[in-house]
């Protein structure tokens, strides 16, 4: 006999209407070893008419009711007989995946089991009614939420359009329709290029790269627009276009209002000072990423920047530890001071002490006549970044610990210490904890530098950030080499999201730089990525299985890419033919093609005609 009362309130369901969502897991069960007497006492004690019977593994066997027990006793069966031969083995039960819509409860309760036949709980009419009532309440709240969202969507001043993965309009608000002069119902399910002249939203769907604050020529004037792809499971499922201002002229109107306001407050005009020609500070806006773990690391870094505590940043090589450090420095109280970076792994061991502490005149043979200040002194009132601190020799670790404790430095060959005030940020791609256990890193120094730990996840664990990084790198690299802005295909971006990037962001930047500088034309396609990177990075034996998986995932993309390029080539040839037939008259050519002049201009620009 088992008195099986469980507190497990977990749900065994895949949808709201599944039985497992409403099953009562606080139930009584009987084992086959129970006697009729004990079973009857237990049922009466708990005011039950029946209970499920289970084996030693809690698998459901059948139902034993008071009626069955009474019938056995009336037939002169001893009350001390075990129930094994008397329970109903054909009693109906439910699987947790069944739906309530097809359920008709005739009994007070019915057993619910999983696919292996393990008893999960009991279901009765009260449970069903309570569950349905709760679900109807949720639906009511959901309906109200949807109504609020639709109302907000239609009352926003900026124009908003939402398209599916193929570029067909699924939602468009009243502000955008009013600006375009179109009927809201008429444009839904139309392709976006037939609704908005000059749009690049369909291009963004192809590339997967967001475009922010872009000037677009629309309805005879320039407007500012955002175009954002919607990614889900490494696949683009749609896009959002936002019309920020109804024309760039609206910006001038805003400036005019500012001028009027300044006039009423006694200010003569608005002066915009030209920035000084110096290196712009790195901010957290330049630390690109929206994945949950990455945002968490940024939030910790922002809070840490407000303090003077030492910070230890850990992460694989190439994840962007230095840009985090510079952003922390820019946000800290030391931002007006210098930012001094030292790579502990790149300085020879015999020179490391003089580089960090500096030296006095004549400290050793070959030293400068007037000596040289060390990195600690150079970082006074600023930030000192010790990169790859895990590679620092043990004898130097003790000297650095003393600097951090005493806040003073004594140069090599010096006779008295010099007070210093700086913020220390250390970084490593090693596990310092393991190094401490192996006596390769001082435990007291570890606790001194690890006041605020920040871990930056590798790129393979935040693949949703790859399209954002690609867009940022595209702009940066094109400006660096003075190359016209290029476009990258959606298939290429998807292929890059499938790759594991062992070199992290540094490797991604390197690949983007290679593609942008080597690929001819304005488009970067998947076969370019394959030719200039994948084929040159053939895997070793340990990576074969991983690379094979990548090839299987990317193979369909390659086929799709080839098909799309073929379609684009046909479209280009048709466009050239029609333009020749109409002797270059774009109005007649657009009419013959069944597209607007603006769309035709976009196509001409796209095909570089």
pLDDT at 454: 95
- Phi/psi for 425 (5° steps) reads -125, 125
* Domain end marker among 432, 456, 480: 456
Asked if residue 209 and residue 161 are part of one domain, the reply reads: yes
By residue range, what is the domain housing residue 237?
Answer: 156-251
pLDDT at 316: 93
Place of tokens 């790149």: 346
- CA 34 to CA 42: how far, in whole Å? 10
Tell me the CATH number at 492.
Answer: 1.10.8.60
62 is a domain residue: yes
- Sign of the Cα torsion 204, 209, 210, 213 reads negative
461-476 per-position pLDDT tens digit: 999 899 989 988 998 9
Asked if residue 172 and residue 23 are part of one domain, the reply reads: no
259 is a domain residue: no
pLDDT at 441: 93
29 is a domain residue: yes
Q: What would the mean pLDDT of 12-23 be, rounded to a whole number?
A: 60
Asked if residue 586 and residue 530 are part of one domain, the reply reads: yes
pLDDT at 443: 94
**pLDDT reading at 270 higher than 50:** no
pLDDT at 470: 92
pLDDT at 540: 53
Q: What would the mean pLDDT of 245-257 be, rounded to a whole number?
A: 55
Tell me the CATH number at 121.
Answer: 3.10.580.10
User: Which residues have CB under 8 Å from 12's CB, separation 6+?
Assistant: 20, 21, 23, 96, 112, 114, 120
Q: What is the mean pLDDT of the chain?
A: 80
Q: Are 161 and 169 in contact (CB under 8 A)?
A: yes
Please state the separation of Cα 367 from the chain's center in Å.
52
Q: What would the mean pLDDT of 238-265 be, rounded to a whole number?
A: 64
5 is a domain residue: no
- CA 456 to CA 463: how far, in whole Å? 13
Asked if residue 472 and residue 441 are part of one domain, the reply reads: no
286 is a domain residue: no
The bridge status of strand 221-232 relative to strand 235-245 is: antiparallel
Asked if residue 556 and residue 516 are part of one domain, the reply reads: yes
Please state the separation of Cα 39 from the chain's center in Å.
56
**Helix (H), strand (E), coil (C) string for 390-455:** HHCCHHHHHHHHHHHHHCEECCECCCCCEECCCEEEEEECCCHHHHHHCCCCCHHHHHHHCCEEEE
473-501 per-position pLDDT tens digit: 998 999 888 888 888 888 889 889 989 99
Q: Are 346 and 304 in contact (CB under 8 A)?
A: no
Asked if residue 391 and residue 311 are part of one domain, the reply reads: yes
- Sign of the Cα torsion 302, 455, 279, 479 reads negative
- In the chain, DSSP finds a helix count (H) and a strand count (E) of 21, 22
12 is a domain residue: no
* Domain end marker among 456, 480, 501: 456
- Residue % of the chain over a pLDDT of 70: 81
pLDDT at 9: 32
146 is a domain residue: no
Asked if residue 335 and residue 306 are part of one domain, the reply reads: yes
User: Which residues have CB under 8 Å from 420's CB, separation 6+?
Assistant: 376, 377, 379, 380, 403, 407, 408, 409
- CA 30 to CA 119: how far, in whole Å? 11
pLDDT band of residue 256 (cuts 50, 70, 90) is low
Asked if residue 481 and residue 374 are part of one domain, the reply reads: no
Q: Are 504 and 458 in contact (CB under 8 A)?
A: yes
Asked if residue 486 and residue 404 are part of one domain, the reply reads: no
339 is a domain residue: yes
Q: Are 87 and 43 in contact (CB under 8 A)?
A: no
pLDDT band of residue 101 (cuts 50, 70, 90) is low
pLDDT band of residue 209 (cuts 50, 70, 90) is confident
pLDDT at 459: 94
How many structural domains are present in the chain?
4
pLDDT at 14: 39
* Domain end marker among 415, 440, 456: 456
Tell me the CATH number at 164.
Answer: 3.30.450.20
**pLDDT reading at 384 higher than 90:** yes
pLDDT band of residue 13 (cuts 50, 70, 90) is very low
Asked if residue 303 and residue 445 are part of one domain, the reply reads: yes
Asked if residue 172 and residue 64 are part of one domain, the reply reads: no
Asked if residue 310 and residue 387 are part of one domain, the reply reads: yes
pLDDT at 273: 42
328-362 per-position pLDDT tens digit: 999 999 999 999 999 988 888 778 888 898 887 65
Give the HSE-up count for residue 117: Cα atoms under 13 Å, Cβ half-sphere: 10
């Amino acid at each position: 006999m088992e008195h099986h009362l469980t507190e497990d309130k977990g749900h065994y369901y895949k949808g709201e209407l599944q039985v497992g969502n409403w099953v009562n897991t606080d139930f009584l069960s009987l084992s086959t070893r129970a006697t009729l007497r004990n079973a009857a006492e237990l049922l009466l004690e708990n005011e039950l008419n029946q209970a499920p019977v289970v084996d030693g593994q809690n698998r459901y066997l059948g139902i034993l009711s008071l009626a069955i027990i009474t019938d056995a006793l009336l037939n002169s069966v001893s009350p001390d007989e075990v129930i094994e031969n008397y329970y109903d083995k054909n009693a109906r039960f439910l699987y947790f995946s069944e739906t309530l819509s097809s359920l008709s409860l005739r009994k007070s309760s019915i057993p619910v089991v999983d696919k292996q036949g393990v008893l999960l709980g009991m279901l009765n009419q009260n449970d069903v009614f309570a569950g349905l009532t709760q679900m109807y309440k949720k639906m009511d709240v959901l309906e109200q939420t949807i109504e609020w969202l639709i109302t907000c969507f239609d009352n926003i001043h900026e124009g908003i359009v939402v398209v599916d993965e193929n570029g067909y309009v699924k939602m468009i608000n009243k502000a955008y329709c009013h600006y375009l002069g179109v009927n809201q119902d008429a444009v839904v399910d139309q392709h976006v290029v037939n609704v908005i002249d000059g749009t690049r939203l369909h291009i963004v769907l192809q590339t997967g790269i967001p475009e922010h604050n872009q000037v677009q020529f629309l309805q005879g004037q320039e407007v500012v627009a955002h175009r954002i792809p919607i990614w889900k499971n490494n696949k683009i499922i749609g896009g959002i276009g936002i019309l920020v201002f109804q024309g760039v002229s609206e910006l001038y109107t805003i400036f005019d209002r500012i001028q009027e306001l300044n006039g009423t407050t006694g200010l003569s005009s608005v002066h915009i000072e030209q920035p000084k020609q110096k290196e712009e500070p790195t901010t957290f806006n330049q630390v690109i990423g929206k994945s949950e773990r990455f945002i968490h690391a940024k939030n910790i870094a922002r809070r840490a920047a407000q303090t003077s505590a030492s910070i230890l940043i850990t992460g694989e090589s190439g994840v962007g530890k230095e840009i985090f450090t510079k952003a922390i420095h820019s946000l800290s109280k030391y931002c007006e001071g210098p930012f001094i970076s030292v790579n502990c792994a790149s300085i020879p061991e015999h020179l490391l002490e003089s580089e960090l502490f500096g030296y006095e005149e004549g400290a050793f043979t070959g030293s400068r006549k007037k000596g040289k200040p060390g990195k600690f002194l150079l970082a006074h009132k600023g930030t000192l970044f010790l990169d790859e601190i895990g590679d620092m020799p043990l004898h130097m670790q003790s000297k650095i610990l003393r600097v951090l404790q005493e806040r003073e430095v004594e140069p090599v060959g010096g006779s008295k210490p010099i007070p210093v005030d700086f913020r220390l940020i250390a970084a490593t791609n090693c596990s310092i904890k393991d190094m401490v256990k192996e006596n390769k890193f001082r435990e007291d120094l570890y606790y001194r530098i690890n006041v605020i730990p920040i871990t930056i996840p590798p790129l393979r664990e935040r693949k949703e950030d790859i399209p954002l990084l690609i867009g940022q790198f595209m702009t940066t690299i094109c400006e660096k080499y003075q190359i016209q802005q290029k476009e990258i295909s959606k298939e290429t971006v998807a292929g890059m999201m499938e790759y594991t990037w062992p070199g992290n962001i540094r490797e991604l930047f390197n690949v983007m730089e290679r593609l942008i500088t080597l690929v001819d034309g304005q488009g970067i396609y998947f076969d370019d990525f394959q030719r200039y990177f994948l084929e040159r990075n053939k895997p070793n034996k340990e990576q074969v299985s991983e690379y094979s998986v990548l090839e299987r995932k990317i193979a369909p993309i390659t086929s799709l890419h080839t098909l799309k390029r073929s379609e684009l080539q046909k479209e280009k040839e048709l466009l050239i033919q029609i333009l020749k037939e109409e002797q270059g008259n774009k109005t007649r050519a657009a009419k013959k093609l069944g597209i607007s002049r603006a769309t035709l201009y976009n196509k001409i620009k796209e095909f570089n005609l």
